[in-house]
Amino acid sequence: MSKRLLLVGAGHSHLEVLRQLKATPIRNVDVCMISPSKYQYYSGMFSGFTEGIYSEEETRIDITKLTKDAGVQLIQKKAHTLKALQRKVVCGDGSVYPFDVISFDIGSESLPLSFEDTIARTIKPNHRFIDQMKELRETSQPLIVGGGAAGTEMALSMQAYKQQNRIPGQVRLITADRILSESPKWISSKLEKLLLNKGVHVWKDERVEDIYEQYVRTDQGNKVRHTGVLWLGGARGDAIFERSSIDTDQKGFALVRPTLQFKDYDYIFGAGDCVTLIDFPSLPKSGVYAVRQGPVLWENLNKYLTGGQPMDTYVPQKSALYILSTGGKKGFLIYGPLSSHTHRAWKMKNKIDREFMAEYQ
């Protein structure tokens, strides 16, 4: 009798699983993918889209085609609850999908629950990004909350778009600490200067406490006016794990072993932003790691389903290269303590991103 493998989410690691399945199907295994959208949008190109460099088609991968080519059934729904012991997933519409083995690559949420009923937008789920950004970048005072890599890059890209298209006003950015607080201080200062030179209005060491239609109120008592809020204030786990009594870290990310198996279940796997590695709890939530986990996830799903041993283990690389697009086809490259701001860095980013997309488009 055949077994069923359920892939939940079309994140980076699952794209690799689909690619491998196309080349090497697993005998006697039916594979289904649950994904709310038929497209997977690639966050590495969000900045380029925002600035007007890439088209919508260039930033997305057609999951319908990828699953079809891989012999995988696509279920266009959102998983809502995992019944781990019964090996079933319940989707938002109440439909139930049994499985023998399941794998999660569903990314993260960002908006704190207390702001869920406000007008704040988030980039997740990422298929909503395009429409949200098209609207926001045309307004006069878009406000970004969060001064991490994503917030900084989006502020610079939106500002570049506004300047190139002569849209009056300026982008605003509020961050609870310094810009890119996880980098050395000199990198933070360089990026802060860059934001200011480009005309982005920055409030740092300030926390947004309330969000209203026309302004936000901060813990410093400031009222900052806006024409739309994009929340990029850090990742938190999808509520599905808490709802399903899965062991998570404090932010709600499912805990996984080096084999990418959930802490308490051998038949539940996970990769990308939605999981935290028990051995590397502070690893940043970044696409770089989700991509590298893909081949290990594929190997281990395959081995688990076919009885192969021993399982592979994932060990993250010590340093990751980050290139933030800063507008006008320039990039700010960060590698450990090193940084540079050049057109060459942007070209490198463009090449890496286009090569990644070419693998799956």
Q: Kindly indicate which of the ranges 37-45, 196-204, 241-249, 310-318 contains the residues binding ligand FAD, using the contact rule CB under 6 A.
A: 37-45
Q: Kindly indicate which of the ranges 103-111, 179-187, 198-206, 309-317 contains the residues binding ligand FAD, using the contact rule CB under 6 A.
A: 103-111
If the CB atoms of residues 225 and 344 are measured against ligand FAD, the closer one turns out to be: 344
From residue 219 to residue 258, what is the string marking binding to ligand FAD with x (rule CB under 6 A)?
A: -------------x-----x-x------------------
From residue 166 to residue 185, what is the string marking binding to ligand FAD with x (rule CB under 6 A)?
A: --------------------
Q: How far is the CB of 122 from ligand FAD (least distance, A)?
A: 8
Report the first-to-last Cα separation within the chain, whole angstroms.
Answer: 33
Within 63-92, which residues bind ligand FAD (CB under 6 A)?
A: 78-79
Per CB under 6 A, does 37 bind ligand FAD?
yes
Instruction: Find, among 122, 159, 143, the residue nearest to 224 by Cα.
Output: 143
Q: Which of 286, 295, 299, 348 binds ligand FAD (CB under 6 A)?
A: 286
Per CB under 6 A, does 288 bind ligand FAD?
yes
| Token reading at 57 | 């088609």
* Cα 123 to Cα 119: distance, rounded to the nearest angstrom: 13
Q: From the CB of residue 155, how many other CB atoms can be counted at a distance below 10 Å? A: 32
Which residue carries 């610079």 as its tokens?
156
Q: Kindly indicate which of the ranges 35-43, 210-218, 220-228, 244-252 contains the residues binding ligand FAD, using the contact rule CB under 6 A.
A: 35-43
If the CB atoms of residues 206 and 238 are measured against ligand FAD, the closer one turns out to be: 238
Query: Total residues at the site for ligand FAD (CB under 6 A)?
Result: 37
Task: Give the CA distances from residue 154 to residues 61, 136, 171, 198, in Å, rounded to whole numbers and listed in that order.
Answer: 21, 11, 10, 13
Q: How far is the CB of 28 from ligand FAD (least distance, A)?
A: 25
* Cα 54 to Cα 354: distance, rounded to the nearest angstrom: 10
Query: 143-145 and 229-231: which strand pairing?
Result: parallel
Residues 6+ apart with CB under 8 A from 158: 50, 51, 133, 136, 137, 142, 144, 171
Q: How far is the CB of 288 from ligand FAD (least distance, A)?
A: 4
Residues 6+ apart with CB under 8 A from 105: 7, 8, 9, 10, 11, 12, 13, 14, 270, 271, 272, 274, 290, 297
Within 337-356, which residues bind ligand FAD (CB under 6 A)?
A: none
Q: Kindly indicate which of the ranges 24-32, 161-169, 254-262, 280-288 contains the residues binding ligand FAD, using the contact rule CB under 6 A.
A: 280-288
Q: Kindly indicate which of the ranges 39-47, 94-102, 132-140, 214-222 contains the residues binding ligand FAD, using the contact rule CB under 6 A.
A: 39-47
Within 5-34, which residues bind ligand FAD (CB under 6 A)?
A: 8-13, 34
| Token reading at 258 | 């080096």
Q: From the CB of residue 289, how many other CB atoms can be counted at a distance below 10 Å? A: 22
174: region left, alpha or beta (phi > 0 left; psi from -120 to 50 alpha)? beta
218-234 core/surface letters (b: 16 or more CB in 10 A; e: else): beeeeebebebbbbbbb
Binding residues for ligand FAD, per CB under 6 A?
8-13, 34-37, 40, 43-44, 46, 78-79, 105-107, 123, 125-127, 150, 153-154, 232, 238, 240, 272-274, 285-288, 290
